[in-house]
Amino acid sequence: MARRGGDVRFAKTSRMLSDLAGGHADRSWGQRIREYTKPLVLILDDFAMREHTAMHADDLYELISDRAITGKPLILTSNRAPNNWYGLFPNPVVAESLLDRLINTSHQILMDGPSYRPRKRPGRTTS
């Protein structure tokens, strides 16, 4: 889709959350969140890599809720199984609401196999 000029946005989850935190600080949060709710497809890489602050959890809730309401696709990549995501959120009510929207309306694709990263190590020769 992106190669055909589709409206797709890719971001590392941690960088998106830092960007939104900056929006709280300078009062541009509304403008910044629209940059992630507006694209037809949003891809968040490395979702659930670490524990979230309450503010990050609230921002994720707003983003995921908005995309669910508008029916816009959200693609997440994660190294953790969805049932391991709950403990990363400080407020269990926010976690349940946010993850309910994600898990119960999603298609999950498990990619099992060796990491591609060892092939990219410096000094490694390719055949």
Q: pTM for this one?
A: 0.82
The HSE-up count of residue 109 (CA atoms within 13 Å, CB side) is: 4
CA-wise closest residue to 39 among 65, 14, 74: 74
Q: Which residues pair with 10 in a beta bridge?
A: 43
Closest CA to 78 of 105, 110, 42: 110
pLDDT in tens, 62-120: 999 999 999 999 999 999 989 899 999 999 999 999 999 988 888 888 777 777 666 66
Instruction: Render pLDDT for 24-58 as a digit per residue (tens, 0 to 9).
Output: 999 999 999 999 999 999 999 999 999 999 999 99
Residue 37 CB coordination number (10 Å): 18
Give residue limits of the domains in the chain: 2-110
Tell which CATH classification among 3.40.50.300, 3.40.50.970, 3.40.50.1100, 3.40.50.2300 matches the domain 2-110: 3.40.50.300
